[in-house]
Homo-oligomer: A and B are copies of this chain.
Amino acid sequence: MVIRSKHLCRRVLENQHKLCQFLQQQLRLCSSNAARPAAAFANQDEDTSIKITKQFTSTATSLLEPIEHAPNVGQQFSYSDLSVRLAAPHELQTKPDVDEMGFGKFFTDHMLKIFHHQSLGGWQKPEITPLENLVMHPAAKVFHYAVELFEGMKAYRGVDGKIRLFRPDMNMKRMNLTARRCGLPTFEGLELVKCLARLVSIDQEWVPHTECASLYIRPTLIGIEPTLGVASSDSALLYTILSPVGAYFGPKSTGGVSLLADPQYVRAWPGGAGDRKLGSNYAPTIYVQQAAAKKGLQQVLWLYGEDHELTEVGVMNVFMVYINDHGEKELITPPLNGLILPGVTRDSILELSRSWGQYKVREGKITMKMVKQLVKEERLLEIFGAGTACVVCPVQSINYLGEELHIPTLEQEKPVYEQLRVTMTDIQYGKMDHPWALVID
């Protein structure tokens, strides 16, 4: 009797998200594209355990590449050890409307946690728990020396009702490279992806039922050893929270962003760690972002060196489309020279563009002198940022040394950025079958 009621409770808890999904579907649809046969829901497997479909193998090839761990990392964690503690009904949060989502303001009901303790032999068993506060010693290294890193990924609800991740192998690879760069333990990417997929599956009703939005996935790795020496941390916590997100720059920002390009501020430099997704690359940018805002500008265009080369824009990679000296249309982005974050969207844009063959594609230096000259000669067509949060973000103007440069990104008839955005979102939202999309069930 006791056992039966326990089972019943568990069943209710595990399926609670599905009970109201038809209602939610009606309430939330904000995009006509999101309309899809209700049958997609009806056919859903009742078993909530995660299954990764056949697409997995093709997209995740690099997840299967062996990664070399430092000896002191010790034992690895495994998805098969994952434990799940579901939130009680009264702990479940109300889901926000798409319009009020913003970016990273609301969080789902559950989170993933995996501890690493050298004294306990390495990585511990992964656990999914209700979203809860972290409890940490005030001397934890993360609070003092920024021993921390993160990734940004998204889960998309496709037009077929299926939920997809986008190239998670790329995030896992970069996360391990970043971990190594700040003395945090590395891990098997495939195991983390499986855990993340399970987490998303449990909070699946938080994946917005619209193409205007998605579920942002924030894997975070922090050093928690409570000692004040500037050294690697012998304890760490890898956790992941999920946040339903709308447009990164808010609903009214579709008109293209204005940039401050001030050579007195430098984001990254040779010999530094600007090519890794460390928390430490972000704190110093806030002040500069404020300086831009004071001038009424929306984002920072990061310059480097004596010739003021463009490196990144805001927290995105930067792309330019222009007519080159041979009269050809060319897409250019700075090369991965150590100053540039190796963006997943960046890589995807380059791959897609190269596969299309419609314009030249080049990784090369872009200087402000070149931008000015191209604007003057009306050969500059588009500048846009690219990143997971926004896919692509068109640039309308650059404020450079007191001069306002108008960038005609929004005035092109068939802009490259728009073609890229449509293709990327078609892949992400399942309108196009593509090995980059990882369906989770």
- 9 pairs, CB–CB < 8 Å, chain A vs chain B: A104-B227, A107-B139, A138-B220, A138-B239, A146-B146, A146-B279, A180-B287, A183-B290, A230-B286
Residue A87 interfacial (CB < 8 Å): no
Interface string of A282-294 (1 = CB under 8 A from B): 1111110110000
- Which A252-293 residues have C-beta < 8 A from chain B? 263-266, 269-273, 278-287, 289-290
For A103, the chain B residues whose CB sits under 8 A away are: 227-229
Contacts of A218 in B (CB 8 A): 139, 144, 228
The distance in angstroms between the C-alpha atoms of A134 and B181, with both chains bound, is 27
Task: Tell whether A241 is near chain B: CB-to-CB under 8 Å.
Answer: yes
Partner of A136, one of B134, B273, B279: B134
* CB atoms of B183 and A287 under 8 A apart: yes
Instruction: Answer yes or no: A216 CB below 8 A from chain B CBs.
Output: yes
B290 touches A228 (CB 8 A): no
Distance, CA A428 to CA B204, complexed state (A): 60
Is A186 interfacial (CB 8 A cutoff)?
no
Q: Is A145 in contact with chain B by the CB < 8 A criterion?
A: yes
Q: Flag A132-149 by CB within 8 Å of B: 1 or 0 each.
A: 111111110011111110
Partner of A282, one of B136, B138, B144: B144
Known: A183-B286, A280-B283. 14 other contacts (CB 8 A): A134-B137, A138-B241, A139-B218, A142-B143, A143-B148, A144-B282, A146-B148, A148-B283, A218-B228, A230-B282, A230-B315, A263-B271, A266-B271, A280-B280
**Are A229 and B104 in contact (CB-based, < 8 A)?**
yes
CA distance A103 to B227 in the complex (A): 8
Known A-B contacts A135-B133, A138-B134; the reply to A282 vs B146 at CB < 8 A is yes
Q: Is A222 an interface residue (CB 8 A)?
A: yes
- Which 5 residue pairs spanning A and B have beta carbons closest together? A104-B228, A266-B271, A280-B280, A146-B146, A145-B282
Given contacts A107-B139, A139-B104, whether A287 and B182 have CB atoms under 8 Å apart is: yes
Q: How far is the CA of A103 from the CA of B315 in the complex (A)?
A: 36
Q: Work out how many copies of this chain go into the complex.
A: 2
Residues of A120-171 at the interface with B, using a CB-CB cut-off of 8 Å, are 131-139, 142-148, 150
B-contacting residues, A218-252, CB 8 Å: 218, 220, 222, 226-232, 239, 241, 243
Q: Which residues of B contact A265 (CB under 8 A)?
A: 271
User: Cβ of A279 and Cβ of B232 under 8 Å apart?
Assistant: no
Chain B residues within 8 Å of A278, by CB: 146, 280, 283-284
A111 at the interface (CB under 8 A from B): yes
Asked if A4 is at the interface of the complex by the 8 Å CB criterion, the answer is: no
User: Which of A104, A181, A218, A278 has the largest count of B CB atoms less than 10 A from its CB?
Assistant: A104
Say yes or no for A6: interface residue by CB 8 A criterion.
no
Q: Are B232 and A290 in contact (CB under 8 A)?
A: yes
Closest CB in chain B relative to A356 CB, distance in Å: 32
A105 in the interface (beta carbon within 8 A): yes
Chain B residues with Cβ below 8 Å from A287 are 180-183, 273
A302 to chain B: closest residue by CB: B271
- In the bound complex, do residue B135 and residue A144 qualify as a contact, i.e. CB atoms below 8 Å apart? no
With contacts A104-B227, A136-B133 taken as known, whether A144 is within 8 angstroms of B286 at the C-beta atoms is no
* Also in contact, A134 and B131, with CB within 8 A (given A144-B150, A283-B280): no
In Å, the complex CA distance between A389 and B239 comes to 33
The residues of B that contact A220 with a CB separation of less than 8 Å are 138, 143-144
**Which residues of chain B are within 8 angstroms of A272 by Cβ–Cβ distance?**
266, 269, 284
Question: Shortest Cβ distance from A248 into chain B, in angstroms?
Answer: 8
